[in-house]
Structure 1
C-alpha cells in the first residue's frame, strides 16, 4: 500500500503538536497515591463525627476509602485535587472494640490497615511534662505491668516527642506503654473506667521538650515551627479534643494572656471541627519560679474568655523536691483531665 506525501505530512504535524503517545493514553495508568502517615494498622478512628481520610496522589486520581467491621461496610470516593492532595470523608461511625479494616485504593495502588477500632481520639501536646514517660511516673512500674489489660487504648507517637517507637499506632502493652506519656495513659485509662460502656481511646502524642507556646501557633504572626511542621499535618483528622500541658519555660509569662486564647482559636479554625474540647493542665507552684503564678492566672483567664475549655488544677499535688518542674505524680493529673 502506498502512502501519500500529504498523509505523512499530516501525521508528522499531529505528532509535533501532541507529542508521542504516553502510557496513560495507551490505557496504562500510574499514580503516586500515598496515605497520611497517621493512618496505620491498629489505629483508632473518632466516633460520631465525619471521618476524613486523606493523603496525596497524582492530580485527578480517583481515591476510594472503605471501612469494614463485621457485616458493616461503608465506602466513599473523591478525586485528588490540582495540588496533589486528596480527602475522602467517611460518614460518622459508631464506637466499636471489634477490629475493622480500612482500605484505601486508587490508580492501581491499595493500602490496607488492619485492626482499626472506633472510639475517642485525643491529641496530647505541649512540652516535657506531657512527654514524661509512664515508667518514670509515680506508680509507673505497676501501670506498665498492667498495661496489657487495656488493648483498646492505642497511641501514635510522633518523632518530635522523641521517646519510644514513633510513626505507627501501638496497642497498649508493657513493652509499648512504658514509653507513652504518663499523663496520656492515666487519662485514657481513667476515661475508660469512668464510662458505663467503655469505648476505645486513641492518643496522638505530639510534644516537644522545652518548647514555647509561640512554637505551637501562627497566631499573632508567629512562625509556629512545631505547629506548621507537626500539627497541621494531622489536620483534618477527626478528633475529640486536645490536652495541653505547657508553659514551664516561657520567657514572657504575661504574653500568655493573649497567646493561649490565640493558640486555641488558631487550632480550632484550622482544624475546622468546631469548638472541640481543649483541656489544659494548670502549672504547679515550683520553688524559685514565681512567674508560674502569672501563667496560672492566664490559664484561668482563658477559661473565662474561651468556650469549651477545662483545666485540671494540680497545685495541691505534692512536688518533691520543691524545685522539680517534672513532678512524677502524673496519675492524679490524668484522672482529673478525664
Structure 2
C-alpha cells in the first residue's frame, strides 16, 4: 500500500505535536520513524492507524482518503511495544482473535481460521507454543505472537510502535533480522517507530528523522550519517562537537585545526558552524600543537579525551586505543577533523541551510 501524507497537524492542548508533516511511502517499503521522545512519531503512527485524529491535513492510502474511514475499516496490523496480548487466551486464540471477531458476513470458517493460525505459527517459528498462555512465554516469543496476531488479518499496512523496546539488547538484534525477513516474505508496507538509531538503520529501507513535530530529513542510513540536513539531525546523529568556523572560498577554517579533509562546500563567506563526531577528531601529540589534552581515559577499546583547542573551546574526542601514541594529560596536540558537516551562521541562528559538498563524493543508494 502506498501512503501519501500532506500538511498533517495535531495539537494536544497548547502543545503542537505535528507541525505540517509531509511524507510519501511506496508500496512494499519498510520505513522507520526515528527521533527523540516528544518528536511526534507515535502520534503520526496512531493517526495512520485511526487511533488519533489530526486537526488538519491529508492522509491517502492507495489514493483513498483514509480520514473518512473508521479504524476498523482500514485493515491495519498494529504491534505495540508491550504486546497487548490477551492473558486469558492461548497463543492460538490470540493470533486468531482478529479473524474470529469479524462480522459474520466476512468471517472465515472455523477450519479456515485454524489453518491460518497454524500457517502463521509455523512461519513465525513458534509452532510448539500454540497451546501456551502469554505468561508462559519469553519477551521475544510474546513479540512474535503479537506480530502473528497483526499478520493474521492480512493487513494492508503493518504498523509497529517501538516493537522491541521492552526486550534485551541481544534479543532485539535477533528479532530485527527476523522482522526484516518477515517483511520481505510478505512484501508488506511497514512503518515502525523507534528511538534506536542502530535499529532504524539496520531494518529500514528509508529512515524519517523527526524532531519537535516536524520531519527534519528522510533518507538512507549512509546519506543521513554523512550528510545531515540540519543542525538538529547532526546533533541527533552524534555530532556533539560544534565549532565556530570562518568560511572562505567554500572552505571552513579555524585556528589550530586542520580542516583540509572536509570537502569544499557551496556556502556564503562569513561565519559558520562545523559539526563533528568525537570519533572523527584526530589527535596527534605534538609539542608545537595549539591544543591541550585536559583528560584522557581508556574504556578498553577506545581512548576518550577532553581537549581545549587554540580558541579555548572544550571538545571531546574518541580514538581507537591500539596503535595510538601515548596520550598524556597536559600534553600539547594537533587536531584534525576527518569528517564533518558545515552550516552557515552560528548555532543560535535557527534552521541553517546545510553545506553542499562539491562534488558529491558518493552515490546515494536507494
Tell me the TM-score range normalised by the shorter chain. under 0.3
TM-score scaled by structure 1? 0.28
TM-score scaled by structure 2? 0.26
Q: Decide which structure has greater strand share.
A: 2
